[in-house]
Structure 1
Amino acid sequence: MTHHDDISGKLPQVPEPYWRDLIDLPEFPQLNDDIQVDVVIVGGGITGITSAYLLANEGLKVAVLEAGKLLNGTTGHTTAKVTAQHDLIYDEFIQNFGRSKARLYYEANTDALNFIKQMVDEHQIDCDFSEQDAYIYATTDQYADKLRKEADAYEKIGIEGGLVDSIPFNIKVKNALVMKNQAQFHPIKYLIHLIHKITEKGGLIFEHTTAVNIETGERPTVLTSEGPRVTGSRVLSCSHFPFYEGTGFYSTRMYADRSYILAVKAKKPYPGGMYISADQPIRSLRAATVNGEEMVLIVGESHKTGQGKDTMEHYKALEEFGEQVFGLDDIIYRWSAQDLVTLDKIPYIGKITSDQPNILIATGYRKWGMSNGTAAALLFRDMILGKKSAYESLYTPSRFYAHPSLKNFLVENANVVGHLIKGKLEMPNTRADDLSNDEGAVITVNGHRKGAYKDKDGKLHIVDTTCTHIGCEVEWNSGDRSWDCPCHGSRFSYTGEVIEGPAEKPLQQYDYTMLDNLASDDSGY
């Protein structure tokens, strides 16, 4: 990758997650024929792969359908902390749901951590797994007080840890809260091992196979975009955003949040541990080994998808933070991640609706997918085998608590309506001719809002900016060269193809000659 001498020039040109680089990932065919299995699993990330492994181990015939490449979604863009410390959450859970549910959430994620550790030990998986203490730190009096309340919550539900006065960085902190014996790992190396075990047990895996709908019934059938169908006794929706919502209306019950990651060579050695700030803007730190060299992952700058400032500014803010804390020799990788947040911050895992008990869903991990995704797979296994699980009621998607869910439902949907209206009223002054190479923007053509990206060779790619989900207007994401929807987080490539749902159809494309003709046509588009 190309680097320059000045600090802002160190950022790699192309966003690329470290986890997928230099890894020989297995490849799988596209589904071409109708098939019948016991369990159909949609989504090839940590939830889908772990579910397939667990169920194949139980002698069930499984088929995994992945719309793109395995492990290329949220799992491939993670920070890969395996922990039950999910920001400041336990005091809030105790206040909103009571101590027993807060304790269950901790136990579910601790069970997931222990499962991963057991798998690594049992199968001798070389995936850079290491136990680390996890810290939340506060730099203001307001958040120092919140950390004290969170420490009280730890004590109430029996979490090993407590308050400390300092952390080993050049960061002035008021206090910090530690959760002992958490972990980090290389998720792709770990999951490749499970993929091999799935295929050894006769499990089927298909890439480039997009699930688009379900024909419900006693044995539901998953329909794919190319035509082939997969029928099973159960369907597990493990895609990042549910490819099928039933009557659950999940797009109104979650919002999409983006964050940014740099993998850097630091001048100062990393002191161990995993860290996250309680204050905004979020800053998260952990070490990683890249080609035998120690790197630091600097993470943060969280914001709602499609909303906020120029995305490259988020990378630059992390770079400045890294320079202040460590001193940077080089930035080797940069990438961003998208996460879904539910109304009450607990994931939706279980029956998609009460009247469709053979369709199960897992979504809304709120940036903590390594533990929550594994917890989801363990819960799916128990539900399919008919075993009772204490976690079923905690995660059930049918829950709808008056507080905070109702308030958050109203706030989130007011936000969606605001962006829906705002996007329709905005008419930018930019024209296609104003763009430099490798630049994108919303443009106006004859009074119509369109999206344009001029690639590095000077070729223009024009799309309609109306999201194909509910009609909000997408915004240009310069950091990832994508069109992002501010309403429900759908993302599209600069050519209009769907990168992430809930949208299923691409943005309409226009070639430059068509645009020229349409620009001079008073009838518009």
Structure 2
Amino acid sequence: MNNIISNLNRDGSLASPWQQSNILHVNNNGDLSELFDCLVVGAGITGLTAALQLQKAGKKVVVAEAYTVGYGTTGGTSSHINTFADTTYTEAESAFGEEGAILFAQAVKGGLNIIKQNVEQYNIDCDLSFKPGYLYAEDEKQAKELDDIYKGATKVGVDVDYVEYVPVNVPYQKALVFTGQAQFHPIKYLNSLADEFIKSGGLLLQNSRVEEVETSIDIHVAKIAGAGVKAKTVIYATHMPPGINNLNMRCAPYRSYVLGVKLVGDNYPDALVYDLQEPYHYIRTHIIDGEKYLLIGGNDHKTGHDDEEAAFNDLEQYTRQYYDVEAVVYKWSSQYYVPADGLPYVGQMPDRADGIYAATGFNGNGMMLGSISGTILADLVMGKENALADLFSIKRFKPVDGFTEFVKENADVAWHFIADRFKAEDLQQLNEITAGMGKLVKIDGKKVAAYRDNDGTLHTLSSVCPHMGCTVKWNASETSWDCPCHGARYDVDGNVVTGPAMHHLEKINI
């Protein structure tokens, strides 16, 4: 018997247009006492791609999602699908050699092809369309960077060329066009993958958090709502796998911001467009409920750092500078992880028992890299060779040029371990916290995360992230407490909304 779940949740108070769609999600019941070939934790693009491929191959698969399909970053993406990535092919060659760069390019294009093939094979109506992608430089420094990107892309076989015209209102000096880029509605796509997975005999459990996994040589037992679910293998498709592991120190959590804007007139670009600012802006057009919207994103920063409202305000100011804005209809943010050496980490977790797999570090390119990672993980579970497995292996360690940034990221983490917990600050008292405000306050010498809701009720929690002990920060835009060290996020009652934390913030009675 199938249960219909109509309340599509997401990991913040601001929903993307995809997550505001009236899409019903099917949840099916099954026999949880049987032994599964694979337990997939997380129903985003990585998890459902892997689960569907395994189920179609005759494996017995269960997907456990803590909330609903598309709850996390897949549902919060701007859904750009490219043949190039944030880690340039020149950078990939510097770190992994020419063969590694070629494989990386094949992985990125492979992710696009997986989406295309699934849409065609399963007749998925998800607004998939193919557009040119433009990348432009605004000054001489950026022009040199653009030339490097062109050289690296052509060397690995990506279809790119210089172009005179870019459909934007921003002045530019030089530009590239990448053919065959794409865009789609990610929740429509995910929902169709979930439906096809269920039709193929797969078991989908939503609102079913995996509380812990007891591992052994042949069988792993996951605790889900008090029940023990047994599986031969486990895939963590949760962005960052839960708990403390070495990936925490090899990936840095970032948030990116997006506006959905109505313009005066019909001057919407029929393309995907990117600049080379730091952080860069990304732009495209999407038709939602018959209306065109300009989707413009950027202003990325580390999770728990900087001012989230300021990021939205700066993005809106930038948009109004170059476009005739009628209204800002949507605004939302989403989380991604930047890997230390530029490439995703996919495969067997080195600090766990055999058969425990994960994928993370997609660096803002999750539609392509999440899709190809799902295929890699499915192949690993089935014992099949995959040409990308070694390149993306979690067991690799590459002390490359970018390693200084890696050290910087983790020096920043170490600072938050110490300074946030013990630095003396002049904090406002509890009675000065107004409705809708969250703030760290000192009570009896201890920092407390305090939030007052619109009814005047005060919610007080321990400020210490139970993952590894950092102090959380208030995110006013998403009404959440965010950890600046490894990206765990919590709602105002302390419940985990984004891993890697496995436990909620402790409630404090005052």
Letter matched to residue 274 of structure 1: L
Tell me the equivalent position of 1:374.
371
In 2, Cα distance between equivalents of 1:355 and 1:451: 33
Which residue is equivalent to 1:473? Answer: 471
1:378-408 alpha-carbon deviations (Å, 9 max, x no partner):
1123223333221111111100012146544
User: How far is 1:359 from its partner?
Assistant: 1.7
- Residue number in structure 2 paired with 1:86: 85
Query: Residue in 2 aligned with 1:300?
Result: 298
Tell me the amino acid that sits aligned with residue 328 of structure 1: V
Equivalences for 1:178-189 in 2 at 5 Å? 178-189=177-188
Aligned counterpart, 1:10: none
- Give a deviation string over 1:288-326, Cα, whole Å, max 9, x none: 111111111111110000011x21111111111221222
CA contact (8 A) 2:86 2:365 kept: no
Find the aligned partners of 2:286 and 2:340 in 1 and give their Cα distance: 33
Task: Give distance in 1, aligned partners of 2:332 and 2:29.
Answer: 27
Decide which of 338, 342, 350 is 1:341's aligned counterpart.
338
Distance 1:426 1:259 in 2: 30
CA–CA distance in structure 2, aligned partners of residues 442 and 93 of structure 1: 41
Matched, 1:422 2:409: no
Instruction: Answer yes or no: is the 8 Å Cα contact 1:87–1:136 preserved in 2.
Output: no
1:219 aligned partner: 218
3-state DSSP of counterpart to 2:18: helix
In the alignment of these two chains, the number of paired residues is 497
- Stretch of structure 1 that moved more, 142-151 or 324-333: 324-333
Distance 1:72 1:437 in 2: 27
Structure-2 residue corresponding to 1:6: none
Q: State the secondary structure of the residue aligned to 1:372.
A: helix
CA distance in structure 2 between the aligned counterparts of 1:221 and 1:405, rounded to whole angstroms = 37
Q: Distance in 2 between matches of 1:35 and 1:366?
A: 37
Q: CA RMSD in A?
A: 2.0
Is residue 176 of structure 1 aligned with residue 175 of structure 2? yes
Structure 1 residue 26: Cα displacement: 1.3
Matches within 5 A, 1:297-336: 297-308=295-306, 310-336=307-333
In 2, the alpha carbon distance for the partners of 1:224 and 1:364 equals 26
Partner AA of 2:460 in structure 1:
I
Deviation digits for residues 222-249 of structure 1 (CA, Å, limit 9, x no counterpart) = 422533222222211111211256xx51
Indicate the SS of the match to 2:374.
Answer: helix
Provide, for residues 323-373 of structure 1, a one-character-per-residue CA deviation record: whole Å limited to 9, x for no partner: 122221122221110001111121111111287442221111111111111
Offset from partner CA, 1:195-252 (integer Å, 9 cap, x none): 111111110011122223332233332422533222222211111211256xx51111
Q: In 2 relative to 1, CA 501–31 (structure 1 residues): closer, same or farther, beyond 3 Å? A: farther
Alignment partner of 1:509 is 2:498: no
Q: Which amino acid aligns with 1:192?
A: N
Matches within 5 A, 1:403-414: 403-404=400-401, 406-414=403-411
User: Which 4+ runs in 1 deviate beyond 6 A?
Assistant: 29-32
Aligned equivalent of 2:359, options 362, 370, 392: 362
CA displacement 1:466-485 (0-9 Å, x = unmatched): 11111111111111111111
2:86, 2:164 → 1: CA distance?
18
Say if 1:249 and 1:332 are closer, same or farther in 2 by CA, change over 3 A: same
Secondary structure of the structure 1 residue equivalent to 2:22: coil
**Quick check: 1:35–1:229 contact (8 Å CA) kept in 2?**
no
Which segment is superposed worse, 14-23 or 153-162? 14-23
SS in structure 2 of the partner of residue 315 of structure 1: helix
CA distance in 2, matches of 1:354, 1:18: 38
Partner amino acid for 2:210? A
Task: Judge conservation of contact 2:428–2:441 (CA < 8 Å) in 1.
Answer: yes
Which residue is 2:141 aligned to?
A: 142
Residue 287 of structure 1, CA deviation: 0.9
What pairs with 1:84-483 in structure 2 (closer than 5 Å)? Answer: 84-87=83-86, 89-224=88-223, 226-243=225-242, 248-268=245-265, 269-308=267-306, 310-353=307-350, 356-404=353-401, 406-424=403-421, 425-483=423-481
Report the AA paired with residue 315 of structure 1: F
**What SS is found at the alignment partner of 1:188?**
helix
Distance 2:403 2:211 in 1: 29
Structure 1 gaps of 5+ residues are 1-12, 516-525
Q: Is the 8 A contact 1:46 1:370 kept in 2?
A: yes
> Deviation string for 1:173-214 (max 9, x for gaps)?
122222211111011111211111111111001112222333
Counterpart of 1:303 in structure 2: which amino acid? H
The separation in 1 between residues aligned to 2:308 and 2:32, in whole angstroms, is 42
- Retained in 2: the 8 A contact 1:259–1:337? yes
The one-letter code matched in structure 2 to 1:483 is W
Conserved 8 A contact 1:32-1:228: no
Report if the CA contact (8 A) 1:440-1:453 is conserved. Answer: yes
Are the counterparts in 2 of residues 440 and 476 from structure 1 also a CA contact under 8 Å?
yes
Contact 1:31/1:209 (8 A) holds in 2: no
1:122 CA drift (Å): 2.8
Per-residue CA distance 1:95-133 (angstroms, 9 max, x = gap): 221111111111112122112112222332111100011
What is the SS of the residue equivalent to 1:38? strand
Question: In the alignment, is the contact (CA less than 8 A) between 2:452 and 2:459 conserved in 1?
Answer: yes
1:281 and 1:354 mapped to 2: Cα distance?
A: 34
Q: How far apart, CA to CA, are the structure 2 residues paired with 1:426 and 1:178?
A: 52
* CA gap 1:14/1:201 in 2 versus in 1, 3 angstroms: closer
Contact 2:51–2:378 under 8 Å retained in 1: no
Amino acid at match of 1:74: T
**Alignment correspondent of 1:492:** 490
Matched, 1:66 2:61: no
- Looking at structure 2, the residues matched to 126 and 354 of structure 1 have their Cα atoms a distance apart, in angstroms, of 41
Q: Note the residue ranges of structure 2 that are not aligned, 5 or more in a row.
A: 1-11
- Residue aligning to 2:53: 54
Indicate if the aligned counterparts of 2:83 and 2:158 stay in contact, CA closer than 8 A: no
Q: CA deviation at 1:492?
A: 0.8
**Secondary structure at the residue paired with 2:400?**
helix
Q: CA deviation at 1:32?
A: 9.4
